[in-house]
Each structure stands twice: as C-alpha cells, then as structure tokens.
Amino acid sequence: MPRFSKAVSSLRSSEIRDLMTLASRPDIISFAGGMPGNELFPVKEVEELFRELDIKKKQAAFQYGPTPGLPSLLESLNGFLEKKGLPVKENRLLITTGSQQGLNLLGKAFIDPGEPVLVENPCFIGALSAFRSYEAELRGVPVDSDGISMNALHRELERKEKPKFLYITPYFHNPAGLLYTTERKEVLIRALQGSDIPLIEDDAYGDLYFYEEDRERLRPIKAINPSGIDVCYTGSFSKILGPGLRLGWMLVPEEIYGKCELIKQSADACSPSFTQVLADAFIRSGQIYSYVESVRQEYKRRADAMVSALTEYLPDYVQWNKPRGGFYIWLTLPEGADATKIMMLAIEGGAVFVAGKTFDPAGTRNNSLRLSYCNNTPQQIAEGIPIVANSIRKICG
C-alpha cells in the first residue's frame, strides 16, 4: 500500500466532479456544471487573432515564460483591471493557472494544518477543496440574500482562535447566485478593518451582469481599496473567454504577491504561454468587451427561460433567487429534505443538478440544490425544469 501524506489521505472526489461524467451523457439535460456553453466560445475570432500575430509572438507562445506571467499580458490585463477601478499600481498582479490555482496558492501561503479559515456557507467547492488540501479547519458563515450574515460573522470573529482569512464570492455567487449589496460590503469592510484577517475576494463572474444598474453594486471591495485590510482579489478568463485556457489572476499586496510567486515557481513554473498570448491578443483587440457583452445577453436569455420555467413548475414551498447575472439559481427546500434523493430521481427522469451538501463546508446540509442555466438552450431548460420540479414534489410532497 502506498503510504500517502495525511493531507492527501483526507482528499475525496467531489460529487460535482463525479457528476461531470453523468453530465456528459447525451440523454441527460444537465443543470450541474458551471461551464460556459461550447457553442458560445469565440473560436473563429481567436483563430484569426492567432493568425495575425507576428512570428516572434507565435514562437513565444510555445516557450516557457516568466512565473508572474508574460509581460505583454500583464500590461494589457492591468489596463483591463484599471478600467474596473482596481488599484493596480498599489498592488501586484500575478497570472495564475486558472483562478483555482490562485486560491490554492493563497491557501498554501496562509494555512498551517488545523488552522481555521472562514468561508461562506454555501461555498464554491473548488475553494473548499483547495483549503482542505492544506488541512484548514473550515468554518462556514451563512449567507442571506444581501451577502454574508454579519451576526454570524461577528460571532466567528469573536472566537478565540483568529481565522487565517475570510474567503467570499460577492458577485453572482457560486452556488447561491447572490449579489452582495453595497451596504453589506460596507459593514463587512468595517468589521474586518484592523482585524489582521486578509480578505480573499473571488470575482470569477462579475463581468456577467444582466442589468446596467448593478454596476455600482459590482464594484469590488478591492476597488474600494479600504485601509487596514489585505484584500486578495482573484479573477479568471474562464467565464469571459474559456476555461480551457486555464488562466486567471490575482491582484494582491506586494508582500503576499512575493510569497505566492515563490509558491507558484514550485507548482508549475509558469502558466501556459500559449493561452497567455491568446488572452493578450483578445484584450488588445478590444474583442474582450464585445464578446463579454454578447455572452451577457445570451446568459440573460437562458436565465430568463429558467426563471419562467421555475415560476411555472416549482411548488410554493421552494425558495429561490432570480439571478441578476452569473450562472446559478439556488433552491432552498423545506428543512430536512434530501436533495441527493431528488437528484437520483431527476437523473432517472433525464435531468441532473448538484445537491446542496456539496457546497456545505461541513458536507452535511442537503435541503438545497444548485441549478445552472449557462450551458443549456431555453428549449432544453423548458424540457428539463419540469423533471426537476416533479422530482422535488415526489420527495417533498
């Protein structure tokens, strides 16, 4: 028997990864994965951009690159982030292999085995598994429709052992779909100022808003640039270009950058040069803006289709959010309901989603489920939602 490390022995495959196999069965309508629709990728545009590059850039695409990222991409991405009001000059930008790597580097930088970290409940599964891999004690703080629950957070902050950081996804939360209010961000900032608890602000979906009027609410805490908090801002090309590029970034204070860059050196030396060259060309051509505008409209069309199907078919006792952007709708079922049973029934009927306990830091609470609309046409949504609704009725009455 191989004698694995303690850290690795505690890792288990997540339900979401296992479900990817099911999701790829052609006869199943999958509301499970959080991946963009294949048909939406800008294949032709990127082909054209690559063809137009000079030979030096094409050659560089095949070569190793500097650990922090290709200088040209760092420059264009700085410009992209500066337009969002992010304080790029007072921080350092590190290109990561997906923002998943960013979370992993931060986990490694801060967590010693057994130390507490604060996460939202529910929480993005990739963050939970990254922090678990460093043997963090995950302390879940519930969210309500405005953001993280401040009463629960204050209780956590008063506990004796200080958490190493707080991780949040304030903009079109995965899985809860919620968008933090400006007020909630303000009280959160006040609670953290001077606490010596860094904030990891994950902004993987913020560009995918459906309503112009939400722009102010989408202003990152990092852009507010509050004094007395080390804000580690992470972002990704996955939802605004394609997850296959495996490119994300972190914008962090100098000291944290230094440690993360060292850790990245030992993890993968550099992120893929090939896709960095493509992402750079995509930004510089300005196509990133027109492309994001077009997918925003398409995701809104899909979200609207799901909202109307859920309004028609769901029983009244199910609570859910109308999405204002992003990929997800979160359903809360009556206390004690078992979403895994509902899921098994739905799979028999031909539809799948992710059961809520996957996103619970303790892995137990299961009276909820996540539906994603990003990868389905309105017609598939209209066919699949009645299957989900019927399965809920059969189990919950």
Q: Name the site residues for ligand PLP (rule: CB under 6 A).
A: 34, 98-100, 124, 126, 169, 174, 202, 204, 236, 238, 243, 248
Q: How far is the CB of 295 from ligand PLP (least distance, A)?
A: 15
| Rounded Cα–Cα distance for residues 2 and 253 (Å) | 40
| Residue 397: both structure tokens together | 């009455």
CB closer to ligand PLP out of 65 and 126: 126
CB closer to ligand PLP out of 243 and 386: 243
| Residue 56: both structure tokens together | 């030096």
CB closer to ligand PLP out of 76 and 236: 236
CB closer to ligand PLP out of 250 and 395: 250
Q: How far is the CB of 202 from ligand PLP (least distance, A)?
A: 5
CB closer to ligand PLP out of 67 and 236: 236
Q: How far is the CB of 227 from ligand PLP (least distance, A)?
A: 26
CB closer to ligand PLP out of 34 and 65: 34
Q: How far is the CB of 350 from ligand PLP (least distance, A)?
A: 24
Q: How far is the CB of 127 from ligand PLP (least distance, A)?
A: 7
| Rounded Cα–Cα distance for residues 285 and 222 (Å) | 26
Q: How far is the CB of 243 from ligand PLP (least distance, A)?
A: 5
Beta bridge partners of 57: none
**Nearest residue (beta carbon) to ligand PLP:** 98
Task: With CA atoms as reference, report the closest residue to 249 among 70, 33, 96.
Answer: 96
Task: With CA atoms as reference, report the closest residue to 216 among 224, 226, 208.
Answer: 224
